[in-house]
Amino acid sequence: MDAKQMQRTLGKIIQARRSKLGYSQESFADAIGVHRTYIGSVERGERNVTLKNLLLIAEGLDMPLSTLIAAAEASVMTSAS
Protein backbone atom coordinates (compact mmCIF):
# COMPACT_ATOMS: atom_id res chain seq x y z
CA MET A 1 0.00 0.00 0.00
CA ASP A 2 1.38 3.37 -1.04
CA ALA A 3 1.62 5.74 1.95
CA LYS A 4 1.10 8.88 -0.12
CA GLN A 5 -2.03 7.45 -1.72
CA MET A 6 -3.31 6.50 1.75
CA GLN A 7 -2.70 10.07 2.98
CA ARG A 8 -4.66 11.52 0.05
CA THR A 9 -7.50 9.04 0.45
CA LEU A 10 -7.71 9.57 4.20
CA GLY A 11 -7.83 13.33 3.59
CA LYS A 12 -10.70 12.97 1.12
CA ILE A 13 -12.65 10.84 3.59
CA ILE A 14 -12.07 13.35 6.38
CA GLN A 15 -13.17 16.21 4.13
CA ALA A 16 -16.32 14.40 3.01
CA ARG A 17 -17.33 13.49 6.57
CA ARG A 18 -16.58 17.01 7.86
CA SER A 19 -18.71 18.53 5.11
CA LYS A 20 -21.51 16.04 5.73
CA LEU A 21 -21.55 17.11 9.38
CA GLY A 22 -21.85 20.75 8.30
CA TYR A 23 -18.46 21.95 9.49
CA SER A 24 -16.32 24.42 7.61
CA GLN A 25 -12.58 23.74 7.85
CA GLU A 26 -12.28 26.61 10.30
CA SER A 27 -15.16 25.55 12.56
CA PHE A 28 -13.96 21.94 12.56
CA ALA A 29 -10.40 22.97 13.38
CA ASP A 30 -11.69 25.14 16.25
CA ALA A 31 -13.85 22.28 17.54
CA ILE A 32 -10.92 19.85 17.75
CA GLY A 33 -8.23 22.35 18.75
CA VAL A 34 -5.99 22.53 15.69
CA HIS A 35 -5.27 25.27 13.15
CA ARG A 36 -7.46 25.62 10.04
CA THR A 37 -4.49 25.37 7.70
CA TYR A 38 -3.53 22.07 9.35
CA ILE A 39 -6.94 20.57 8.54
CA GLY A 40 -6.64 21.84 4.97
CA SER A 41 -3.26 20.19 4.52
CA VAL A 42 -4.56 16.93 6.01
CA GLU A 43 -7.53 16.95 3.65
CA ARG A 44 -5.24 17.53 0.66
CA GLY A 45 -3.08 14.58 1.74
CA GLU A 46 -0.04 16.76 2.36
CA ARG A 47 0.49 15.74 5.98
CA ASN A 48 1.50 12.50 7.61
CA VAL A 49 -0.92 12.84 10.52
CA THR A 50 0.14 11.80 14.02
CA LEU A 51 -1.88 9.33 16.03
CA LYS A 52 -2.76 12.08 18.50
CA ASN A 53 -4.25 14.25 15.75
CA LEU A 54 -5.98 11.31 14.09
CA LEU A 55 -7.71 10.63 17.40
CA LEU A 56 -8.80 14.28 17.63
CA ILE A 57 -10.07 14.20 14.04
CA ALA A 58 -11.97 10.92 14.49
CA GLU A 59 -13.57 12.20 17.68
CA GLY A 60 -14.53 15.44 15.95
CA LEU A 61 -16.05 13.41 13.10
CA ASP A 62 -17.98 11.35 15.67
CA MET A 63 -16.55 8.06 14.46
CA PRO A 64 -14.12 5.48 15.82
CA LEU A 65 -10.56 5.84 14.58
CA SER A 66 -10.67 2.24 13.38
CA THR A 67 -13.65 3.08 11.14
CA LEU A 68 -11.87 6.09 9.66
CA ILE A 69 -8.74 4.06 8.88
CA ALA A 70 -10.76 1.11 7.54
CA ALA A 71 -12.67 3.40 5.17
CA ALA A 72 -9.40 4.81 3.81
CA GLU A 73 -7.87 1.34 3.44
CA ALA A 74 -10.94 0.01 1.64
CA SER A 75 -10.92 2.95 -0.75
CA VAL A 76 -7.21 2.53 -1.51
CA MET A 77 -7.65 -1.21 -2.07
CA THR A 78 -10.63 -0.63 -4.37
CA SER A 79 -8.76 1.94 -6.47
CA ALA A 80 -5.74 -0.37 -6.71
CA SER A 81 -7.85 -3.18 -8.21
> For each successive 10 residues of the chain (81 residues), what is the average pLDDT?
91 97 98 97 96 97 97 87 63
The pTM of the full predicted model, rounded to 2 decimals, is 0.92
Domain positions in the chain: 3-80
- Contacts of residue 71, Cβ cutoff 8 Å, sequence gap at least 6: 13
| 3-80 has CATH 3.20.20.70 classification | no
Rounded Cα distance between 5 and 79, Å, is: 10
